[in-house]
């Protein structure tokens, strides 16, 4: 199993497309940070101009935590695409390139191979988010220094620096879980496809499609919205409420876990029986 995982990781990290994800995260985070570095004060003045009549703001408001929160908000739209780009290719890419004919004619268990592929894909997902953390918190600390976290989230939430850090840790941890759902969905679609375009576009189409339908709020769909995984993609924001709502957080975590199990079960069941015709 270790051998298979090492091989799959090697294949992922020697593929040029893998670095599109890391490159995109790097560019977006650095662009946002540079924007705030040079024009942060004007942007913040604009955002809080109405609040200035009621509140007195003191201290360093443009700091690592405030910028990291903004990075998180904007990046969470892009990360699913970057995840699907690699995980959607894990199985379909082999079918498309004809290499299943090479590896599945060797004494390799299909189940173990799929586990190895998913684990390698998950490692990539994890590393993309780690890069986000390193860049937004690490580079952000150098550029902006520490300070209190200021969030406009329906209400004005202000957290002390020491209070912000663990919230970010939990938000990123939840982010890894919700992105694993996206990776599992792309992986499942990949098991059915013969080329990687379908699963990559399919994953994003499903996420956008369900999100749009949920947002429109059709009354007949309202009962199922709490059971859709897309409902919980932005649930990392729950960790930036003053009082953590453990009920909502648990529901998000369990729904994500249920979808991961569902998507992977379908992928494994299908692939174990699949005729390799490519």
Partner 1 sequence: MEKEVYLELENVSKKYGTINAVNSLSLKVFKNDIYGFLGPNGAGKSTSIRMILSLITPDSGKIKLFGKDLSVDRYTTLSRVGALVEKPDFYPYLTARKNLEILGRLSNVKNLDAKIDEVLDLVKLSSRQHSKVKTFSQGMRQRLGIAQSVLHDPDLIILDEPGNGLDPQGQKEMRVLIQKLNVERGITFVISSHILAEVEQLANRMIIINKGKSLVEGEVSELLEGGGILVTIEISNPEKALLVASKFESAQDAELSENNSLRLRIPRERIPELLAEFEKDAVKVYSVIPARSLEDYFISKIGNE
Write down the least CB distance from residue 277 to partner 1, Å.
Answer: 7
Query: Which helix or strand (DSSP H or E) is residue 149 part of?
Result: strand 149-153
d(CA 41, CA 26): 23
When asked if residue 248 is in the footprint of partner 1 (CB under 8 A), the reply is: no
Binding letters toward partner 1, positions 2-41, x by CB under 8 A: -xx--x--xx--xxx-------------------------
Contact 203, 88 (CB under 8 A): yes
When asked if residue 275 is in the footprint of partner 1 (CB under 8 A), the reply is: yes
Contacts with partner 1 by CB under 8 A: the residue count is 25
d(CA 107, CA 116): 15
When asked if residue 109 is in the footprint of partner 1 (CB under 8 A), the reply is: yes
d(CA 219, CA 213): 11
When asked if residue 100 is in the footprint of partner 1 (CB under 8 A), the reply is: yes
Could you please report the per-residue DSSP string of 206-256? Answer: HHHHHHHHHHHT-GGGGGGGGG-GGGGGGGGGGGGSSS--HHHHHHHHHHH
When asked if residue 104 is in the footprint of partner 1 (CB under 8 A), the reply is: yes
When asked if residue 273 is in the footprint of partner 1 (CB under 8 A), the reply is: yes
Stretch that binds partner 1, among 65-73, 83-91, 106-114, 131-139 (CB under 8 A): 106-114
Closer residue to partner 1 (CB): 107 or 223: 107
d(CA 5, CA 119): 7
When asked if residue 107 is in the footprint of partner 1 (CB under 8 A), the reply is: yes
Residues of this chain that bind partner 1 (CB under 8 A): 3-4, 7, 10-11, 14-16, 97-109, 273, 275-277
């Amino acid at each position: 199993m270790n051998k298979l995982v090492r091989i799959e990781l090697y294949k992922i990290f020697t593929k040029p497309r893998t670095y599109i994800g890391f490159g995109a995260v790097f560019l977006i985070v650095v662009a946002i940070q540079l924007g705030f570095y040079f024009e942060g004060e004007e942007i913040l003045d604009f955002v809080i101009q109405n609040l200035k009549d009621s509140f007195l703001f003191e201290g360093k408001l443009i700091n690592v935590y405030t910028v990291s929160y903004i990075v998180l908000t904007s990046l969470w739209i892009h990360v699913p695409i970057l995840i699907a780009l690699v995980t959607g290719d894990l199985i379909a890419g082999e079918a498309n390139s004809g290499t299943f004919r090479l590896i599945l004619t060797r004494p390799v268990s299909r189940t173990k191979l799929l586990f190895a592929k998913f684990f390698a894909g998950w490692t990539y997902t994890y590393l993309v988010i780690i890069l986000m953390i390193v860049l937004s918190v690490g580079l952000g600390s150098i550029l902006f220094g520490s300070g209190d976290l200021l969030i406009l989230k329906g209400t004005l939430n202000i957290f002390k620096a020491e209070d912000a850090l663990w919230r970010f840790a939990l938000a990123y941890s939840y982010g890894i879980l919700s992105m694993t759902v996206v990776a599992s969905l792309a992986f499942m679609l990949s098991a059915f496809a013969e080329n990687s375009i379908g699963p990559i576009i399919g994953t994003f189409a499903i996420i956008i499609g369900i999100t749009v339908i949920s947002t429109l709020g059709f009354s007949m769909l309202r009962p199922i919205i709490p059971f859709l995984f897309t409902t919980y993609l932005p649930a990392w924001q729950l960790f930036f409420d003053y009082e953590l709502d453990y009920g909502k957080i648990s529901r998000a975590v369990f729904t994500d876990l249920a979808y991961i199990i569902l998507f992977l079960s379908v992928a494994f069941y299908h692939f174990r029986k699949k005729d390799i015709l490519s």
